[in-house]
Amino acid sequence: MATIRFEALKEIFKRQALPIEYPSVKASDYFGINVFDQTKMKKYLSKEAFNSVIKSVEDGTGIDRKIADQVAAGMKEWAISRGATHYTHWFHPLTDATAEKHDAFFDMTPNGETFESFDGKLLAQQEPDASSFPSGGIRNTFEARGYTAWDPSSPAFVTGNTLCVPTVFVSYTGEALDYKTPLLKALNELDKAAVDVCQFYDKNVTKVISTLGWEQEYFLVDNALYQARPDLSLTKRTLMGHGASKDQQLDDHYFGSIKPRVSSYMMDLEIEAHKLGIPLKTRHNEVAPNQFECAPIFEEMNLAVDHNQLLMDIMQKVAIRHNLRVLFHEKPFAGINGSGKHNNWSMATNTGVNLLSPGKSPKKNMQFLTFLINTLKAVHDNTDILRASIMSAGNQHRLGANEAPPAIISAFIGKKLTQMLDELEVSVPDGKMSPEEKTALKLNVGKIPEILLDNTDRNRTSPFAFTGNRFEFRAVGSSENCASPMIVLNTIVANQLKEFKKEVEALIEKGLKRDEAIFQILRQYIVDSKKIRFEGNGYSKEWEEEAAKRGLTNIKEAVSSFAAFLEEKTVELFERNNVFSKREIEARYEVRIENYTKKIQIEARVLGDLAINHIVPTCVKYQTELIKNVQGLKELFDAKDFSKVAGERLELIKVISEHISLIKKQVNEMIEARKVANKIEDATKLATAYEQNVKPYLEKIRYSIDKLELIVDDEIWPLPKYRELLFN
Ligand code: ADP
Ligand code: MG
């Protein structure tokens, strides 16, 4: 009987690229067609309601019930015109996905008249009985109510036949149960802190937004092959599989020409994304076979985060149409590159200035240096919590290994800016400056735009790299909600800017001129944050050694890296900046810890099952064939010739036996380790037991299976192999 693998392979030989029906218009003609954006609001809302929504977006003010009714009515009318029959509050619980619960517009009066209803109350707030979302202990089942509340700063949209209203998700007692609530708070803090600092340079600045442009990496595999790999479909990564004879060593995939089947998928995806207002712009092959990347034009952060979450959902849905599956896991295949999600981050003012882009005047450049140096200082002071915000069972494979940015958080700024900071460090005197010193400094600062022009050096091994007009946080995992690291980044920078302002003002108070005070504090920060600046190869052994000497942390173990959440320093930071209460931050920790334990537990179960039920029986079957063959040879040959002709097969029979015994023994030990671990009540200790005592078996068992894959007859091997998954 044919294996599932061959059935799956037969299936994909029939597949061809799906023809795409191109809209007969340009992208700009249908861009945002399914979004209730300002243009549609103008059309469907009264002037009063429209202005009220805009004001709420700009100042974060509430919208009163009467206005909400008007907005709901307009939104409903528009959504129905786009084919919507249902509506949902759309939110980001603390899982890897988004959540929605659909209700029909359809309603009925007591005497049986039917109509479509959606009012301000339904728009503004809902109470999903969502007791099974992770809450990190915040919500006990007896107070299982949670609220979702409308976020007017991210526009509603229609997908399928459902109107989706972006919302926050909080507990009955007011604690955040999602990513959006703390993100909005962090953005608000950054806004206030950055505006205050901008006042040193430009009185017209009244609002600063944080900008995000994410680059999403992913793998595509054929759906039939995916279904034939229980490890892929249940854990989103391959728990076994010998490397293909050829993978990425020829560097022939990166930026290579895109295969028709994939490009047809990408085009379909782009059309869907553009209809939803997601400004996808870039697409290309990535380094590993069947690995790809897409990136949009950057946007205001809250919207960009929503768009990334929405896109990940759309990517899966469109993939199914093409008989493909998207893998967002950080390390779906051993031995080749994993996937990340680069977060390009900057800040922009209402006056149209990118605060991380040098300007034309010395004043603008001082402002640029201020934000650049404060960011470096913020990262320097908070490396552990930054790492904790992106660590997971999946991303651990990247951060802990010699691939992608390492678990050491360092920053790259390029040779020219390094020189610039070095000069500032030595040329700023203590106290008051002479006129000559001032002129020299200003001249120096004025040179920045020119030096950045030829600052084309890129460092792909740095986790936090300055790329000319933004920082790129590259260590983020491909399945992570961008909000997690961005909550931290915005909070630490907001905190740092507040600190900066205080320190500058203290010096001014002591009689220094403002510029002198600014230069002096910046000089101090340059010195203070120096040890995270690293321009070399972040993947190298030498850097690990150097970083250790500098006293930088390099925490590769997931569970101990999460401890940063609980440090007093972290709790104070988030409380001081009104982003998380102590209870909320503890809950984030709990959720990460629990999620980690569960992921390893599932991987261990799936691997045990596959090893014992798929791999061992297959190997026994093949071994029996060999034994029959050897017995036949024995009948044919005399003793002397027999050992000559059968020797290598006898050896093989032995090797197979050894691996089978080893697999069985290790699977049993792994089960035992789980049993011991499961008795532990303390969540941290439980996760540690899984990390230290269960996880190592995943590698050990896999080792034997991968060896067997090389020995056993290809015809009977049950699971699709790497070469099939990666080259179809
Ligand atoms: P690369 O692969 O060279 O890093 P990409 O073009 O793939 O670059 O992605 C760069 C991302 O950075 C894009 O999403 C882009 O919109 C974004 N970006 C550019 N400028 C800014 C900015 N000021 N703030 C945030 N993101 C930005
Ligand atoms: Mg990039």
Centre of ligand 2 to C-alpha 348, Å, is: 19
Q: What are the angstrom distances between the C-alpha of 106 and each of 101, 102, 112, 313, 497?
A: 15, 12, 12, 26, 50
Cα–Cα dist 488/564, whole Å: 12
Q: Whose CA is nearest to atom 17 of ligand 1?
A: 213
What are the extents of the domains in the chain? 31-178, 187-580, 595-726
Ligand 1 pocket residue status of 474, Cβ below 6 Å: no
**H helix runs in 14-118, sequence order:** 27-30, 38-44, 47-59, 65-81
Q: What are the angstrom distances between the C-alpha of 274 and each of 280, 353, 647, 664?
A: 7, 27, 64, 51
Counting ligands in written order, the one closest to the CA of 468 is 1
Q: What are the angstrom distances between the C-alpha of 421 and each of 148, 381, 473?
A: 47, 18, 21
Centre of ligand 1 to C-alpha 322, Å, is: 29
Ligand 1 pocket residue status of 349, Cβ below 6 Å: no
Centre of ligand 1 to C-alpha 469, Å, is: 9
**H helix runs in 210-360, sequence order:** 223-227, 230-235, 260-275, 301-321
Q: What's phi and psi for 222, nearest 5 deg?
A: -65, 140
pLDDT for 453 equals 58
Cα–Cα dist 6/719, whole Å: 9
CATH topology of domain 595-726: Four Helix Bundle (Hemerythrin (Met), subunit A) (1.20.120)
Q: Whose CA is nearest to atom 14 of ligand 1?
A: 213
Ligand 1 pocket residue status of 34, Cβ below 6 Å: no
What tokens does 72 get? Answer: 């709901």
For residue 297, which atom of ligand 1 is closest to its CA?
16
What tokens does 451 get? Answer: 């030096």
Residue carrying structure tokens 């107070």: 143
Dihedral of the alpha carbons of 404, 408, 413, 416, in degrees to the nearest 10: -100
Ligand 1 pocket residue status of 468, Cβ below 6 Å: no
Signed CA dihedral, 395, 397, 399, 405: sign only = negative
Cα–Cα dist 204/211, whole Å: 20
For residue 348, which atom of ligand 1 is closest to its CA?
23
Residue pair 309/67 in contact by the 8 Å Cβ criterion: no
| DSSP structure string for 639-668 | HHHHHHHHHHHHHHHHHHHHHHHHHHHHHH
Ligand 1 pocket residue status of 215, Cβ below 6 Å: yes
Centre of ligand 1 to C-alpha 214, Å, is: 7
Q: Does the domain at residues 187-580 carry the CATH identifier 3.40.50.970?
A: no
* Residues found in the chain: 728
Ligand 1 pocket residue status of 477, Cβ below 6 Å: no
Ligand 1 pocket residue status of 470, Cβ below 6 Å: yes
pLDDT for 127 equals 80
Q: What b/e string do you get for 584-616 counting C-beta neighbours within 10 Å, with b at 16 or more?
A: bbbbbbbbbbbbbbebbbebbebbbebbeebbb
Q: Kindly report the CATH class assigned to 31-178.
A: alpha beta
Query: In testing the pocket of ligand 1, which one of 218, 470, 473, 493 has its CB within 8 Å of the most ligand atoms?
Result: 470
Centre of ligand 1 to C-alpha 213, Å, is: 5
pLDDT for 133 equals 80
Q: What's phi and psi for 380, nearest 5 deg?
A: -55, -45
Centre of ligand 2 to C-alpha 467, Å, is: 9
Centre of ligand 2 to C-alpha 519, Å, is: 31
Cα–Cα dist 341/337, whole Å: 13
pLDDT for 25 equals 83
Cα–Cα dist 247/702, whole Å: 19
Residues in the chain where the model's pLDDT stays below 70: 1-2, 129-131, 139-144, 402-405, 449-457
Where residue 280 falls (left for φ over 0; alpha for ψ -120 to 50; beta otherwise) is: beta
What pTM did the predictor assign?
Answer: 0.95
Q: What's phi and psi for 712, nearest 5 deg?
A: -75, 145
For residue 357, which atom of ligand 1 is closest to its CA?
23
Centre of ligand 1 to C-alpha 344, Å, is: 6
Helix 639-678 and helix 582-610: axis angle, to 10°? 150
Query: In testing the pocket of ligand 1, which one of 217, 278, 344, 452 has its CB within 8 Å of the most ligand atoms?
Result: 344
Q: Which of 233, 227, 232, 220 is nearest to 8 (CA)?
A: 227
Cα–Cα dist 697/666, whole Å: 7
Query: In testing the pocket of ligand 1, which one of 190, 208, 215, 286 has its CB within 8 Å of the most ligand atoms?
Result: 215
Ligand 1 pocket residue status of 213, Cβ below 6 Å: yes
Geometric angle at alpha carbon 178, from 483 and 58, rounded to 5°: 65
Centre of ligand 2 to C-alpha 426, Å, is: 33
Ligand 1 pocket residue status of 211, Cβ below 6 Å: yes
pLDDT for 359 equals 81
Cα–Cα dist 439/63, whole Å: 52
Centre of ligand 1 to C-alpha 297, Å, is: 7
SS3 content of the chain, % helix, strand, coil (to 5): 55, 15, 35
Residue pair 341/201 in contact by the 8 Å Cβ criterion: no
Geometric angle at alpha carbon 571, from 580 and 680, rounded to 5°: 100
Query: In testing the pocket of ligand 1, which one of 298, 303, 307, 474 has its CB within 8 Å of the most ligand atoms?
Result: 298
For residue 284, which atom of ligand 1 is closest to its CA?
7
Centre of ligand 2 to C-alpha 458, Å, is: 10
